[in-house]
Amino acid sequence: MGIYSVAVDGPAGSGKSTVAKLIAKELGIVYIDTGAMYRAVALYCINNGIDTKNEEAVSGILDSIDMDIKAENGGQRIYLSGIDVTDDVRSQKAGAGASDVAVIGSVRQKLVNIQRSLAKGMSVIMDGRDIGTNVLTDADVKIYLSASADERAKRRCGELKKLGLEYDFELVKSQIIQRDKNDSERALNPLRKAEDAIEVDTTSMNIDEVKDTIIKIIKEKAGIG
> Applying CB under 6 A, which residues contact ligand DC?
12, 34-35, 38-39, 95, 98-99, 102, 128-131, 179, 183
Smallest separation, CB 190 to ligand DC (Å): 8
Of the chain, the end-to-end C-alpha distance in Å amounts to 9
Of 37 and 218, which CB lies nearer to ligand DC in the complex structure? 37
Of 196 and 220, which CB lies nearer to ligand DC in the complex structure? 196
Of 190 and 224, which CB lies nearer to ligand DC in the complex structure? 190
Smallest separation, CB 34 to ligand DC (Å): 4
With the C-alpha atoms ordered 52, 54, 55, 59, is the resulting torsion angle positive or negative? Answer: negative
Exposed e or buried b per residue across 95-113, where buried means at least 16 C-beta atoms within 10 angstroms of its C-beta: bbbbbbbbbbeebbebbbe
Of 155 and 211, which CB lies nearer to ligand DC in the complex structure? 155
Smallest separation, CB 225 to ligand DC (Å): 27
Alpha-carbon span 15 to 153, nearest angstrom: 11
Of 148 and 224, which CB lies nearer to ligand DC in the complex structure? 148
Closest listed residue to residue 131, CA positions, set 143, 117, 146: 143
Local structure of residue 197 (DSSP, 8 states): P
Of 126 and 222, which CB lies nearer to ligand DC in the complex structure? 126
Residue 5 in 3-state DSSP?
strand
Smallest separation, CB 104 to ligand DC (Å): 10
CA angle 108, 113, 115 (to 5 degrees): 90
Smallest separation, CB 95 to ligand DC (Å): 5
Closest listed residue to residue 27, CA positions, set 3, 49, 57: 3
Alpha-carbon span 34 to 77, nearest angstrom: 12
Sheet with 67-72: list strands edge to edge. 67-72, 75-80, 83-84
Smallest separation, CB 223 to ligand DC (Å): 26
